[in-house]
Chains A and B, each alone.
Chain A
Amino acid sequence: MADTPILLRENQYHQIKAVLARLRMDSSARVVFLVDKDGQEIAVQGEVGNIDTTSLASLAAGNVAATGGMAQLIGEKEFPTLSHEGERESIHISVIGRLLLVVVFDERSTLGLVKLRSRQVSQTLSTMMDEITKAEFDESDSPFAEITDEDIDSLFQ
Chain B
Amino acid sequence: MTFINYASREINCKIVYYGPGLCGKTTNLQHIFEATAPQARGKLISLATETDRTLFFDFMPLELGTVRGFKTRFHLYTVPGQVFYDASRKLILKGVDGVVFVADSQEERMDANVESLYNLEENLRAQGYDLMKLPYVLQLNKRDLPNIVPVGDLTAELLRKEEPVVEAVAATGAGVFDTLKAVAKQVLTELRKG
Contact = CB atoms under 8 A, between A and B. Distances in A.
Interface of A: 1-10, 13-14, 36-40, 42, 52, 54-55, 58-59, 62, 65-66, 68-69, 137-139, 142-147, 151-152, 154-156
Interface string B81-114: 0000001100110111110000000000000000
Given A55-B59, A65-B94, 12 more contacts: A2-B96, A3-B2, A8-B3, A36-B3, A39-B95, A52-B43, A62-B59, A69-B88, A142-B4, A143-B68, A147-B192, A152-B189
Contacts of A39: 14, 59, 75, 95
Nearest to B42: A54
Contacts of A142: 4, 191-192, 194
B134 interface: yes
A146 B69 CA distance: 13
B188 A147 contact: yes
Interface residues of B, number: 53
A155 B1 contact: no
B4 A7 contact: yes
A13 B189 contact: no
B182 to A, nearest CB: 10
Contacts of A54: 42, 61, 75
Contacts of B45: 55, 58-59
Main SS of chain B's interface residues?
A: mixed
Contacts of B96: 2
Interface in B1-60: 1-8, 11-12, 14, 42-43, 45, 47, 56-57, 59
B64 interface: yes
B184 interface: yes
B26 to A, nearest CB: 16
A42 B135 CA distance: 24
B5 A8 contact: yes
Interface of B: 1-8, 11-12, 14, 42-43, 45, 47, 56-57, 59, 61, 64-65, 67-70, 72, 75, 87-88, 91-92, 94-98, 129-130, 133-135, 177, 181, 184-185, 187-194
A8 B6 contact: yes
B95 A62 contact: no
B69 A37 contact: no
Given A38-B94, A147-B68, A155-B64, A3 B4 contact: no
A69 B87 contact: yes
Contacts of B181: 156
B192 A69 contact: no
A38 B134 contact: no
B185 A152 contact: yes
A147 B161 CA distance: 25
Contacts of A5: 1-4, 191, 194
Nearest to B189: A152
Contacts of A69: 87-88, 91
A6 B88 contact: no
B91 A62 contact: yes
B97 to A, nearest CB: 5
Contacts of B6: 7-10, 13
Given A40-B12, A58-B59, A155-B72, A6 B134 contact: no
Contacts of A2: 1-2, 96-98, 129, 133-135, 187, 190
